Amino acid sequence: MAQLPGQIDPTVPSVARMYDYYLGGKDNFPADREAAEQVIELGRQTGSDIREVALANRGFLIRSVRHLAESGIRQFLDIGTGLPTQDNVHQVAQRVARDSRIVYVDNDPIVLAHARALLAENQETIIIQGDLAEPDAILTAAADHLDFSQPVAVVVAAVFHFFHDDAQVAEIVKTLRRPLVPGSHLVISHAYIEPGEGEEKKADQVRGVYQRSTSGGIAWRGREELLSLFDGLDILPPGVVPAQKWRNDDDTYHWPGLAKGGVLGAVGRVP
């Protein structure tokens, strides 16, 4: 990576850059790769493939955004955007409708720097620095670019597992849902593990790696916990499912590395 924004400490693994490494990207430093390799190895010891986890999550994100764009949604608020990769939210949505408006939000300055470069010529898409822990501030900033009197899809993919406090997650979702008019949608994906022998110990070790990263930790949540975040919304079929199974027509690949867990995904519609 060439230039670093001032507030970056490249010796602290960043969850954005670790995820970039899982996806095969090049926007990462030795500390990110080392931490990511530790997680990959811990996963391997339990039969899980972390790269498959990342790819399955990304596939869910792309299919859900495409589905919503094809259903007529023209505004997306994507919180915890991640480093640019193939098929980012604005590209998927604007391929369906060129005038789709997107607000990206991330708290990692490197994500901001890369996204700004990518988006320099895209008038419909902006990126703002913001923290999911402060959803009111995000909504206020997003309202300069999005019209909340019309449906908006709020996307929070692979971010809530960096919050260990269930009550805080519920409160953030409640705040994000408040301005959404009928026809709006909420898209969430979240890390989970199937309960099983030995999983807890490995999970503790993975948590240890993330505790040294920019997120300060990781927490897994199950189907019921995810479902509760959609309370009062109409959940689109097939419901809360492993990300790779959400409206995926490709049955040629069987995801052997996801038998012990991965990411759950779901999409809810404001009635």
Ligand X SMILES: C[S@@+](CC[C@H](N)C(=O)[O-])C[C@H]1O[C@@H](n2cnc3c(N)ncnc32)[C@H](O)[C@@H]1O
Which residues contact ligand X (rule: CB under 6 A)? Answer: 15-16, 19, 57-58, 61, 79-82, 106-108, 111, 131-133, 157-159, 162, 215
Q: How far is the CB of 85 from ligand X (least distance, A)?
A: 7
Which CB sits closer to ligand X, 59 or 268? Answer: 59
Residue 229, exposed/middle/buried by CB under 10 A (0-12, 13-18, 19+)?
A: buried
Which CB sits closer to ligand X, 130 or 182? Answer: 130
Distances (CA, A) of 17 to 27, 83, 212: 6, 7, 14
Distances (CA, A) of 263 to 53, 150, 245: 6, 30, 10
Which CB sits closer to ligand X, 115 or 201? Answer: 115
Q: How far is the CB of 106 from ligand X (least distance, A)?
A: 5
Q: How far is the CB of 189 from ligand X (least distance, A)?
A: 6
- In terms of Cα–Cα distance, which of 232, 233, 225 is closest to 264? 225
- Is the Cβ–Cβ distance between 62 and 157 less than 8 Å? no
- Residue with CB nearest ligand X? 82
- In terms of Cα–Cα distance, which of 122, 128, 87, 79 is closest to 101? 122
Q: How far is the CB of 149 from ligand X (least distance, A)?
A: 25
Which CB sits closer to ligand X, 66 or 271? Answer: 66
